[in-house]
Structure formats: structure tokens, C-alpha cells
Amino acid sequence: MSFISVFDVLGPNMIGPSSSHPAGAVAIALIAQKMISPPLKEVEFILYGSFAKTYKGHGTDRALLGGVMGFATDDTRIRDSFAIAEERGIAYRFTPNETESDIHPNTVDVKMVNEAGQTMTVRGESLGGGKVRIVGINGVQVDFTGEYSALIVVQQDRPGVVAHITKAISEAGVNIAFMRLFRDAKGGIAYTIVESDDKLPAGIQDRIRENPNVHDVMVVQD
């Protein structure tokens, strides 16, 4: 028999008219913004399923924008996220997509551009109760929740890269909870995602970047 906690049903504390629906939106955007260097210049939210139908009435639009600016679910600034984004010079738009049906009903693509011209697209699913799953990075299918400290390595799919990553993590004294490799094609761009119970130490990105087949390293943690 599976156990369902009250937290799973009710979700976390949330600023807005409906707690569970926008709580997941905040969480997705909060994870996404950690994958691109600040400051953010523009963002587009492409909404699918019920997100596309109800994003205005349930406050999901404010929640997404607040999350991508780094606001947590209980941050009162979420109510004013439109005005704050304009003050910060962040261009934003919401694009409902009601034609793509073979997709989780609460899905959003967060398409970001920073001041340096770097682009990043993150797809997330809101699972209910504030829980989420990240299922895509720049068009490559991935799978992680953001509940653990996560190390995301963008690499060329070449022999020895994963061994280099695990050695760097071991030398840093980090215990691996989960580790998975995702790729779009043999020899192409791949993503190694390492989740840990521990806080990932400063400097681990630089150590991993020493391999010439590593293109980028991102840390997603509180």
C-alpha cells in the first residue's frame, strides 16, 4: 500500500488564488532560471494542456514569472511579478499551445535569453502538490525532479567523459544518489545529470570543465 502525505495532497504554502496549480509553476521556473547565467533579458512560457487553458485565472502566469526571477513559492512578490519584471527590464510573454495533445496536462516550456545572448529552453511538468519533473533541456529528453542537489553536465558523447565526471565528484567527497546520461544521438550532445543528497561544493564546475568534451556545467540546488 502506497503512502500519500498531506503535503502531497495540499501542496506547499503558496501566494495566490490556488495553491497546488501555481506552486508547481513556480518550482519549474525556479529550477529553469538556475540553468542560465544572469541577468535574464527575455523569457517566453509555452503552456500546454490545462496550463494553457487556466494560466490566467489560477495565477500560473504570475507564478511562472516570479519563479524565473528567483522567487520561492511563499514569496509575496509573486503578486507583483509583472511589474517587477518590467522594472528589471525583462521582456516576457505567454504562449498557449492547445494543439499538442500527446503531453502531460500541466507542461510548460521555459525559453530564456540572458543579456549575453545565451539561450536555454527547459520543459517541466507539474505533478501536483507542488512536485515537478524536468523532462527536457534544449530539446533533449531528461528526467529529474529538483528535489536533490543536481549537477547538469552538457557534453559531447565521447568515451571517458562520464569517467571524468565521476572522478571529479568522488574527489570532491560528494555522494551520488542518482546518475543518468541522456543523449539525442550517438556522438552528439549529451547531458549527464547527477543528483546528490549533499550540497555540491564550490569549484566542482571548474574541475569538470577541464575535460575538452565538456561544454557547460550547471548546478541546481538551494
**pLDDT at residue 189 is higher than 90:** yes
The CATH number of the structural domain formed by 149-220 is 3.30.70.260
**pLDDT at residue 7 is higher than 50:** no
Please name every residue paired with 46 in a beta bridge, in sequence order, or none if there are none.
Answer: 95, 109
- Enter the C-alpha cell of residue 66: 516570479
Task: Tell me, letter by letter, the H, E, C secondary structure of the chain.
Answer: CCCCCHHHHHCCCCCCCCCHHHHHHHHHHHHHHCCCCCCEEEEEEEEEHHHHHHCCCCCHHHHHHHHHCCCCCCCHHHHHHHHHHHHCCCEEEEEEECCCCCCCCEEEEEEEEECCCCEEEEEEEEEECCEEEEEEECCEEEEECCCCEEEEEEEECCCCHHHHHHHHHHHCCCCEEEEEEEECCCCCEEEEEEEECCCCCCCHHHHHCCCCCEEEEEEECC
Residue extents of the structural domains in the chain? 6-138, 149-220
Per-residue pLDDT, 99? 84
- β 214-220/149-156 pair status: antiparallel
Q: What is the mean pLDDT of the chain?
A: 90
Give the mean pLDDT of 61-74. Answer: 95
Using pLDDT thresholds of 50, 70 and 90, give the confidence band for residue 76.
very high
**Domain topology for 6-138:** 60s Ribosomal Protein L30; Chain: A; (3.30.1330)
Give the mean pLDDT of 121-148. Answer: 94
**CA 96 from chain center: how many Å?**
19
Answer whether 192's CB lies under 8 Å from 144's CB.
no
Give the mean pLDDT of 88-116. Answer: 93
